Amino acid sequence: MFLRNSWYMAGWSRSFNSDHLVVRDILDEAIVFYRTTGGRLIAMEDRCCHRFAPLSAGRVEGDDLRCLYHGLKFGADGQCNEIPQQPGKPISAAVRVRTYPIVEKHGAVWIWMGDPGRADAELIAPIVGPDEGPWSMLPGEMVIAANYALLNDNLLDLTHVAYVHRNSFGRGKEVQTAEFAKIPVKTTKLENGVRVERWMPNDLAPPYIAEILPGVDKVDFYMHTDFLIPGIFILNTRMYEAGTLDRCSTGGLEAQAPIFAEYSCQAITPVNQSRSAYFFALGPWKQHAHLKQMYLDLGQLAFSEDRAMLESQQRVIERNPQRRMMNLAADHAAASFRARMSALMQAERVES
């Protein structure tokens, strides 16, 4: 059902304030988050071990979280350190709630849902967070009522941009936008995902880019995407003066200076089998920081278009879940990623 031994994005760090509890459902588990007096983020199962009351209905007391049903108080490690009904008596180590490994990195909160002993922070996806590195971005998020695998497929086959996003990224220029679906791609298997590359020499600048670079009608366009386990999308887009690709091989592009570049990172976290949390940030170079709100608005519009399509797709699937989808050539990356995820989940089942 889910891959558990992996880092999932629980949200952007700015969403987890120190003055209130935050509840998130992740992999069909309810989790409550709070910050200690020192600002450290704690994630606990949102269920008191006593009578199963939600701890999210409780309150933070210093570094601890108290259940407000019968008053049990739990430390940041999940161990109960106070039972009001039995003062002065030792508390069994069994009176505890589950806690989850948490890391804050790249402006995001990452949670490990599997074996805590395998939670290596070095395995967190190498995204660039909001306003990190050379990029200027604002973060966004939404919940999509569709299975996470459908969201993965959506990002692994970007030919849908030509149709789903004709009115957002395409600015209504359907004929020009439709050409995107015809771009040849190079797909490479990575140890932890799939890489997809696209080159478009001497092509019309994408409609929204033409507005940013007035007078530039033709560009050499390069798009590089890495889609990493369990559902992390990293997109680098660069545009060069028309003719650059003719002067150098694709392998020599790194030595060339683009006239414009943009970046996006996106993360898919399953809520349950039919809902997914979708986190994103996108934007241009920092010297174009004044455009970051425009990019967020454009992303919100485009991803709302995705949401409408994916939710309708989920409804169709639920009417007859026995039907099987058909794969086309463009589905190579998605099929490869699904196979890798299935193998990892199968390995977890065998281990358990």
Same domain, 161 and 270: yes
- Reported confidence tier of residue 249, pLDDT bands at 50, 70, 90: low
Same domain, 246 and 162: yes
Same domain, 56 and 192: no
Residue 180 CB-density burial (10 A; 0-12 exposed, 13-18 middle, 19+ buried): buried
Nearest alpha-carbon partner for 37 in 13, 19, 14 = 19
* pLDDT tens profile 124-167: 999 999 978 899 999 999 999 999 999 999 999 999 999 999 99
Same domain, 104 and 179: no
pTM: 0.94
Same domain, 172 and 209: yes
* pLDDT tens profile 32-49: 999 999 999 999 999 999
> Of the candidates 79, 98, 122, which is a domain's last residue?
122
Residue 2 maps to a domain: no
> Count of domains in the chain?
2
Task: Give the per-residue pLDDT at 160.
Answer: 95
Same domain, 55 and 103: yes
Domain of 191?
126-348
Rounded to whole angstroms, the Cα distance separating 264 from 225 reads 9
Same domain, 300 and 213: yes
> Of the candidates 94, 122, 150, which is a domain's last residue?
122
Same domain, 181 and 288: yes
